[in-house]
Structure 1
């Protein structure tokens, strides 16, 4: 077989494969199914990342770990997490808030959320901010506004 024939055969094979693939994808997308069966969507695998140097990551790490500890009924771990991640003045402020409201000051609730999401609201004046969205059993959500000090990476403010 000459070089020209081999190249032409390879090109034709590649072109035919592309056309068939495009036809199948287009048909499945347009119909929402392939051959009468529901289309399968492959979702990306969940991923979590962060850095011990980032104040925003510390907020997300704290809320994820704290909710896990409270959900599991592990008060000792929850207390250790507060001591590590929260500034001393905030810890004192939360104790007063909890006495007044008879609820968890970190979560601003008496219950434990089933899901959480932390979204950055940006940094400035030596602090980074985040909105923590908590999702409860009935699907209701609440938002908490959190700030961490960029230098110490300690959480210094929790507001609802």
Structure 2
């Protein structure tokens, strides 16, 4: 005699079918089968590129929070002395923050490696003003691979 499957077996089968369909759709469209992937940030104290990203993230936080003492300490730690002098001169001339090349603070930042060579690592820092979809500016940054100090910051 034929027996109908239980409600539990039917529910499991339907859930499995729906899950497989969602996964198939995700694979075809290139989207994630999960609601959202967790954010991740990584770095290394040994890498000059990581130091660039660490500096900009920390520096922007300090300036955003109005913590001038921490911002000055970060500049002293991460930036070469010649660059510190160059930025002070730029700031006196332009009446703006030399690191950010602006009078205000960006709401987002992104650091992208543009390669390494001749003892230097290069990166582009993209600053977004006014949040997602706002205006952006780019700063081209160079750091010494040996000292890991940022040696150049050009808007």
TM-score normalised to structure 2 length: 0.80
CA distance in 2, matches of 1:48, 1:27: 29
For residues 24 and 65 of structure 1, do their structure 2 counterparts lie closer, same or farther at Cα, with a shift above 3 Å needed? closer
Specify the alignment match of 2:9 in structure 1. Answer: none
Partner SS for 2:36: coil
Specify the alignment match of 2:85 in structure 1. Answer: 92
Q: 1:82 aligns with which of 75, 89, 93?
A: 75
Q: Does residue 112 in structure 1 map to residue 105 in structure 2?
A: yes
1:19 CA drift (Å): 7.4
Gaps of 5+ in 1: 1-15, 31-39
> How large is the Cα RMSD of the aligned pairs?
2.4
CA distance in 2, matches of 1:157, 1:28: 43
Partner SS for 1:147: strand
For residues 104 and 18 of structure 1, do their structure 2 counterparts lie closer, same or farther at Cα, with a shift above 3 Å needed? same
Specify the alignment match of 1:158 in structure 2. Answer: 153
Higher-Rg member (1/2): 1
Specify the alignment match of 1:50 in structure 2. Answer: 43
Deviating 4+ runs (over 3 angstroms)? 16-19, 23-30
CA distance in 2, matches of 1:158, 1:66: 14
1:126 CA drift (Å): 0.5
For residues 51 and 24 of structure 1, do their structure 2 counterparts lie closer, same or farther at Cα, with a shift above 3 Å needed? closer
Gaps of 5+ in 2: 1-12
For residues 79 and 134 of structure 1, do their structure 2 counterparts lie closer, same or farther at Cα, with a shift above 3 Å needed? same
CA distance in 2, matches of 1:110, 1:68: 15
CA deviation profile, 1:85-131 (whole Å, cap 9, x unmatched)? 00000000000000111100000000000000000001001000000
Q: 1:149 aligns with which of 144, 150, 153?
A: 144
For residues 125 and 27 of structure 1, do their structure 2 counterparts lie closer, same or farther at Cα, with a shift above 3 Å needed? closer
For residues 158 and 18 of structure 1, do their structure 2 counterparts lie closer, same or farther at Cα, with a shift above 3 Å needed? same
Partner SS for 1:100: helix
For residues 124 and 44 of structure 1, do their structure 2 counterparts lie closer, same or farther at Cα, with a shift above 3 Å needed? same
